[in-house]
Structure 1
């Protein structure tokens, strides 16, 4: 998407900018997975004209106080506005993953209250899909896969896990930051991405980390890609079994 945007950038008029899913892609937010094919979106504010070029989706937006950013030398819509714009077409879980990304980190690109304020100011879409997304969004997940795992667990009736929970030893020294954690039952589900399989150095560090987690009495439940396909039933079963083994009871 960045290559496509940079290729098109010389044709931008001074008042035009990248918006919608193009803007989210340029700031690093997760996009819907294959087979979804993201498009190049270019917008302007009325009364200026949007581009009408094959391969580009043009938008003429309502006049508002300027919030266009510069990302890598490219003019980009503000994160909160771009996120709302994708509510026209994105699925619920894709909106949740993007909201998680935008609201995470020490300096969030768009806090959840900012996303909600944008929805309240400009309106929702498709039977309130943006408000529904914000209701299930949580700050902290580092990837869309982590968001997907969290949603699969809670929707299956499992307890809501802590996100990015710091595990400490008996002396209070941090040992590991757990992507998802159930401190009460000492169960740590964790999505293991493909990069760990391909990066030997990272894999070695992770293996040592897993040993430290288990040494403190935790059940570290590794969830791999195939556990989430074609649905998350296997991943949910693995985590449910670990919780039950640790003393959790459904409905308790």
Structure 2
């Protein structure tokens, strides 16, 4: 069995377009070789291609990137996912969205969702070598595809990671009209600065939706001398109740577990009730998390 002839060094180890390969002298037969993948029309991927990510969407974007025209960029939920911002959980699947501003044309090919945007000054950022819509604008674009809580989760992360402010998000929403605008204005009303994880946001929304008071986010508990004891995910200062989501990412890390246990003890010694919420507490139509928080608040003297 004959081994495929080597590709030009310019094409080795990375996706490339058929057009570029032909310009470098690669023939039709070589482009049909079994060692080359065909992720998109007009794109070839050598077996040696290695992506520094196991995320299927990132891989798809890297494979499609050679096909991008100079005026095209990744749009909406695709852009948010590429910079590592939280996207909706399963069964939602983030699509491959590519856009262009009028009068330029968006792509039209299988496996890609094209968008032609109104004439507006571009706000493109480059991440991992790929052009994409700025996350603030991308968040607004995702509003037509996502549910309320997913929009709040992403907006909290945008603010926390420094991609934009609540006011900048609000400026984007002012451009909208109709049902989508109503959904996004509602989401903005629930965005809070300082949230450090998607599950913290989901837990806060769950608590408030159940009719419980809204807690402060990531409030620092200090002792009588002003020394920090702990930064609490969700804090009810009036009733001295701390609510924290524990994803157990350190479940196999004994030292981390010991530090966490000492921290929980310190919170309780300071006279606070500590409510530890695990993943399974947030599942189902009547999540246990709500009952646990309600019980702690009742014990501390809160009444509806």
TM over 0.5: yes
Instruction: Give the equivalent residue in structure 1 for 2:287.
Output: 233
Instruction: Give the equivalent residue in structure 2 for 1:130.
Output: 184
Go from structure 1 to structure 2 and tell me whether the alpha carbon gap of 1:15 and 1:112 turns closer, same or farther (over 3 Å shift): same
Q: What whole-Å deviation, never above 9, does each CA across 1:176-207 have from its counterpart, x for those lacking one?
A: 11110011111111111141324433322212
Q: Does 2:139 align with 1:80?
A: no
Deviation at 1:235, TM superposition (A): 0.3
Cα distance in 1 between the residues matched to 2:104 and 2:210: 49
Deviation at 1:124, TM superposition (A): 5.5
Instruction: Give the equivalent residue in structure 2 for 1:163.
Output: 217
Instruction: Give the equivalent residue in structure 1 for 2:4.
Output: none
Instruction: Give the equivalent residue in structure 2 for 1:62.
Output: 118
Deviation at 1:232, TM superposition (A): 5.3
Instruction: Give the equivalent residue in structure 1 for 2:93.
Output: 37
Q: Does 2:183 align with 1:139?
A: no
Which residue, out of 251, 257, 280, partners 1:197?
251
Question: What SS does the aligned partner of 1:126 have?
Answer: helix
Cα distance in 1 between the residues matched to 2:248 and 2:239: 28
> Residues 149 and 232 of structure 1 are in contact (CA less than 8 Å); yes or no, is this contact kept in structure 2?
no
Deviation at 1:3, TM superposition (A): 2.0
Question: What SS does the aligned partner of 1:94 have?
Answer: helix
| Normalised TM-score (structure 2) | 0.78
Cα distance in 2 between the residues matched to 1:244 and 1:122: 42
Cα distance in 1 between the residues matched to 2:256 and 2:112: 39
Moved over 6 A (4+): none
Q: What whole-Å deviation, never above 9, does each CA across 1:152-171 have from its counterpart, x for those lacking one?
A: 11111111101010011111
> Residues 106 and 115 of structure 2 are in contact (CA less than 8 Å); yes or no, is this contact kept in structure 1?
yes
> Gaps (5+ residues) in structure 1?
none
**RCO (CA 8 Å, sep 6+): is it higher in 1 or 2?**
1
Instruction: Give the equivalent residue in structure 1 for 2:231.
Output: 177
> Residues 168 and 174 of structure 1 are in contact (CA less than 8 Å); yes or no, is this contact kept in structure 2?
yes
Question: What SS does the aligned partner of 1:214 have?
Answer: helix
Instruction: Give the equivalent residue in structure 2 for 1:22.
Output: 78
Q: What whole-Å deviation, never above 9, does each CA across 1:130-151 have from its counterpart, x for those lacking one?
A: 1111112212222221111101
Number of equivalent positions? 248
Deviation at 1:85, TM superposition (A): 0.4
Cα distance in 1 between the residues matched to 2:60 and 2:260: 35
Q: Indicate the RMSD between aligned Cα atoms, in angstroms.
A: 1.5
Deviation at 1:127, TM superposition (A): 6.0
> Residues 87 and 125 of structure 1 are in contact (CA less than 8 Å); yes or no, is this contact kept in structure 2?
no
Go from structure 1 to structure 2 and tell me whether the alpha carbon gap of 1:84 and 1:7 turns closer, same or farther (over 3 Å shift): same
> Gaps (5+ residues) in structure 2?
1-56
> Residues 124 and 131 of structure 1 are in contact (CA less than 8 Å); yes or no, is this contact kept in structure 2?
no
Go from structure 1 to structure 2 and tell me whether the alpha carbon gap of 1:135 and 1:124 turns closer, same or farther (over 3 Å shift): farther
Greater Cα radius of gyration, structure 1 or 2: 2
Q: How does 1:110-121 map to 2 (within 5 A)?
A: 110-121=164-175
Q: Does 2:104 align with 1:52?
A: no
> Residues 173 and 181 of structure 2 are in contact (CA less than 8 Å); yes or no, is this contact kept in structure 1?
no
